[in-house]
Structure formats: C-alpha cells, structure tokens
Chains A and B, each alone.
Chain A
C-alpha cells in the first residue's frame, strides 16, 4: 500500500483551478520530485496535501486514511509535515522556540532540538536568536528543522533553495541527502531540474495543473522532462500516468 496516494485531486483558488485532476502515489522511503514551470500548480498541490487548501474534489489518502476535511494540524499529527515556500518562520520567536513548536502535534520520535542542531550545525550559535534576525540559509534550516521536530512520516519541501546562494543550497541539500538515506519519505518541489533529478527516485512534471509526465528519475531523459515542462508533447503523452 502506498504511504500517500492522491486521487483525481482538484483544488481551486476562487474560480481558478490550480490543480485539475492530479493522481499519483508514493511509497515509503521514496523521494518524489515535483517539477514544472511557475504557476503549474506544484505549491498548491503540496499545500493541499498538507491541508492548507481544501480539495474541491478528489481525495488524498495517507497511510490508508482519507484525509478529506482533516485540518492541517491533524495531518501533522498523522505524520505529514510541510516546509512551506518562503519558510514562514515565526519571526518574533527564537530558533529554539520555532523548533519546539514543531512538537505541538505531539508525535513520538527521535527528533529533538539537539538533533536538529547536529543536523544543521550553522544553527548551533543561533539557538536563542529571533528567527527574524537569521540569514536565509539559517532560516531555511530552521524551517526544515521545525518540520522534522514533528517526526513526520512524509516530509513536504516547497522550494527550499529559493532565494539562497548556491553554496547555501549545496549545504541544505547535503543535509537532505542524510534525511533521504535515513529513509524519510519526501516530496519536494524544486525549480532546479538537475538537482531535483539527482536527489529523487521518482519525478512528476506538472503543466497547467495537470501531470504532464511521471516516471523514475533514472529512466526519464532530461529532454523528455524539459519537453513536458514547456508543454511540448502535451497531446502525445495524454498527461496522465497509470
């Protein structure tokens, strides 16, 4: 059984359909990269899985349970954690307080403030600094750490490299590698195609709210993904994978 399966999901922003009938599944331990141009619906899809948007139709099934109507904080309790786009830290609170908030859902597990600080050593000296005073890389590390503190079964990462310098992105991805090899299931939205393909074992390319291409990261050619990205073989592919 898939850890997460998304079935014919439709999400609207007002009258606009941001996600138009998306289906896919992800197994335990897999890493899925969601790629696609701006406005393809990736962030909306991720936020709908996390419960920040309600689905207009279709369902999200996690660990065998239908999540329809389950609010976001309950989903965290069930094991889904989102690192939102733009970090969204509580800027008036310290790094440590932000991390401790991740525990609000009360899921048991190995993650502690200490372990987050081990994983992201750049935070060690910033433990009692206000989150609003951190650098971009430190903020991103805090946001990921905050999500990890809930000991998630599924980690959703939205554009973690956005606004960071290449060097910092390398560091963030190095720590992600560690998480991936420790068996955490991850869905990540990433603009950088190369990076997305290198860390993931599955890839989905979205176009105008639909799945334009889905496959194993190793088997799909870069050319195919690029074409799907720009909608060049829209007709032939038919959009929806099995």
Chain B
C-alpha cells in the first residue's frame, strides 16, 4: 500500500468564486426592477417562485428520498391561508408569511403519518391528501367552491408598489430559503441527509436519525412551497382552488428537478431557469407544451436520471456551491494486486453533495 493519504477538501477555488458571484447576482437582482419593464418584473417574480418550488421539491426528493406527487397541497394551502388571514384583517403582505408558517405547522402532523409510507405509497398518498384538502377548502363559504375569491385587500396598494414589493419579497424568500437549505446541507444535518440519500437502512444502522431528518426536510419543503403559493396568490390576486391545488404544480417541480439534476443543490436552480425559459418560449403552445414537459421528464428519468447538472458534475468534477466534502484519492494508493481498475477510476474524485 502506498503511504500517500487521501486529501480531504471542502469546496474548491471555483466554489469560493461562485460564493462571491452569488452575492453579486442577488445584489443585481435586487436592483434590477429599476431597469426592467413591469412585465419583466412580473416574469422575474415568477422565476423566483419556480426556483423556490424546485429547490423545495428537490430537498424532499433529492435529499430526503421522498418523492411526492401531492406537494400542490402546500402550494394551495399557502394561498388559502393567506386569503383567510387577509380576510380576518391582517395586512395582506404579512399574511403571506404567516400563512406559510401555518402551512409548515400543518405539515408536521401530516408528516407523522405520511412518513411511515414508502416510495410510491408515499408519493400517491400525498396526492390523496392534496385531493382531500382541495375538496375541504372548496367547502369554505368564503371560497365559494370552485368559483374562488380574491385577495382584495391588496388593491389598497397601487399597482407598481404592489409589483415591486412582491418582487422583492419573492427574491428575499428565494434567497432565504436557498440559504437555509444550503446551511442545512452543509451543517451536521447535511451528513445525515447524504447518508440517508445514499442508503437509508445503512444510515439508520449507524445511528442517523432517519425519520427526524426526513421530517425536517418535509416541514421545510411544506413551508417553502407554502411561501411560493402565497406569493403566487399575491401576483395573481385571484384564488381558484382548482388552479392552486392542481397536480400540474407538482409536475412542474418534478420537471425542473429532473432536468436540472435531482439531489444536487445547483441542479434545482438550473432546472427552474430552464423551465422558465421553456415556459417563456413555448408556454403559448398550450397542450403541446404540456406534452413536451411530460415527455422531457420521461426521457430524463430514463436516459439521464442525474439530470443536466448531475451529469456535468460527474463528468467534469464541477461544483460551485459546495455542500459536501470531497476526497481525492492519490493515484496508485490502491490496487496493489494488479487488477484491471483503470487509473481513471482510482483518481475519480466524487463529491457526495
């Protein structure tokens, strides 16, 4: 055996540069409305909401191993509670966030129950929860069934104040949620999350708190998606249960994460950007656009399950926002027995992000 020992690194020069880059991008985005048209500001707001949705679904599925097709329940509830709170006299902007906190609180008892389900059973079980919640919200007299209602109290603000406030709120929410997720993945919980992602049973056997960690991700995702739903309501003003509790939202989340790269922090953001562009270009084609989204998700899950970012990362060893450690094995440190393992395999430095 060679005496050379592996080198353990945390991040790379590139990832440090990326850190500064992120700060500058956020700053530029904060100033951007000065230079953008009203329509462009609205579109950017939508993009921020997509990033939140993708990052939250990725937290749940990519890191927690929990694929849910019922996340629209939290999107819908985020909007619904905001309507309710505003109707009770709370400032509409404040009610957006109080609403999300309530969504997070509601998700906790749901998690007690649903996290005992596995894989496909969890996925579709969440869908049942979403369908049931949708029906129950319809019963609320304020909502008037599928007719829906509006966040009327927002109308006291003039259009441009409203637009800018929502833009900044969306940007701040996105930044904060991404930061929380990043911190979570980089901190001690991150090690547990990666262990669970790689092998749940093994993680449990070495004392990782599997259920506790999954619950944390579940509640975080519910809260984040609740924020997204409330923000969407703020931009759209009208609330129709059918729109907000539609499984289409989950389809978007899945598309973004699958295409971007499931289980990679950067991948979800990339996926949201791509989805945003595709929607901008092809959203007008109606049903063909939806067929295209489904087919793309299908093709990615079959042919490129690691998504674009995951594939690039694997091939080139890229990482920008480093959430893990990586171990560089020195060349010829192993394989003294003259096997056929190629040098490429030995020197592969894979980050478990």
Contact = CB atoms under 8 A, between A and B. Distances in A.
B124 to A, nearest CB: 25
Contacts of A87: none
A20 interface: yes
A10 B340 contact: yes
Interface string A1-25: 0000000001010010100100000
Nearest to B341: A15
Nearest to B339: A17
Nearest to A57: B340
A12 B341 CA distance: 10
A180 interface: no
B205 interface: no
B337 A20 contact: yes
A56 interface: yes
Contacts of A20: 337, 339
A43 to B, nearest CB: 19
Contacts of A12: 339
A62 to B, nearest CB: 24
B337 A17 contact: yes
B303 to A, nearest CB: 22
B345 A15 contact: yes
B327 to A, nearest CB: 14
Contacts of A57: 340
Contacts of A17: 337, 339
Interface in A1-58: 10, 12, 15, 17, 20, 56-57
Contacts of B337: 17, 20
B101 to A, nearest CB: 46
Interface in B327-349: 334, 337, 339-341, 345
A17 B340 CA distance: 9
Nearest to A210: B337
Contacts of B345: 15
A17 B337 CA distance: 9
Interface of B: 334, 337, 339-341, 345
Given A10-B339, A12-B339, A15-B345, 4 more contacts: A10-B340, A15-B334, A15-B341, A57-B340
Question: Which 8 A-B residue pairings sit nearest by Cβ, starting from the closest?
Answer: A17-B339, A15-B341, A57-B340, A17-B337, A56-B340, A20-B337, A15-B345, A10-B340
12 contacts: A10-B339, A10-B340, A12-B339, A15-B334, A15-B341, A15-B345, A17-B337, A17-B339, A20-B337, A20-B339, A56-B340, A57-B340
